[in-house]
Structure 1
Amino acid sequence: MMNVKELSTKLEYTVFALPDPVAQVTDGYTSDLLSDVMGNAAEDSVLITIQAHRNTIAVASLIGIKAIVLCNGRMPSPDMVVAAEQETVALLGTAENQFTTSHRIAAALGIS
């Protein structure tokens, strides 16, 4: 278990929104299909994706996902950043691909 601030610092992610830096994350899920995320991602997890739009925040909030990591250098839309702040979902970014990001997060959380 690790909080989102520790995760972002340890893995050197870009921070777009960090409304609750002490929110705890215990797991991760990698997907770009939001219906898949809704059916399979766990509460208190990190979503690893390239979906850089407001709907991703809505799905994360619905499930209780604490953080989203946008991969491949994707930049969030301005309304995505606003939604992340409003829904208390950390929004982070990396130039890494989803495979590498998934591995690094799993290792940081001690689940790899």
Structure 2
Amino acid sequence: MTSQQNLDALLVNEELLPFPDVAEILGVPVTKVHDMVGAGKLVVYRKDGVNTIPAALLDDGELSKFVGGAITVLSDGGYEPAEILQFLFTEDESLPGRPIDALHGHGAREVIRRAQAMAF
């Protein structure tokens, strides 16, 4: 299985939002969503030529500081968007669960610590 197929399988049941929908949810212009991606606060999942943002990266209509922090740390450490998404959406029994879910709860600091260790 290729890394793209693996990522596709990880995200098959995730809600994937086009940029205009993300902008509406966050209450910002769509250009700001592009800026967030460029700044490493959000990461793009590209499938069939369409750029989307997994809804799980958002937190009740806001950009989660912990999700953005994990993405930034991994991106700064040389991880590509697909690799970041694989890390965030892959089950990890030691958390337990997926890092993306832990970032929305009490495991956020542990996920950030692991991301820092992986990136450097």
TM-score in same-fold range (> 0.5)? no
> When the two structures are superposed, what TM-score results if normalisation uses the length of structure 1?
0.29
TM-score (norm 2): 0.28
More strand by share: 1
Q: Greater CA radius of gyration, 1 or 2?
A: 2
Of the two structures, which has the highest relative contact order with CA contacts closer than 8 Å and spacing of 6 or more?
A: 1
**Structure with higher helix content:** 2
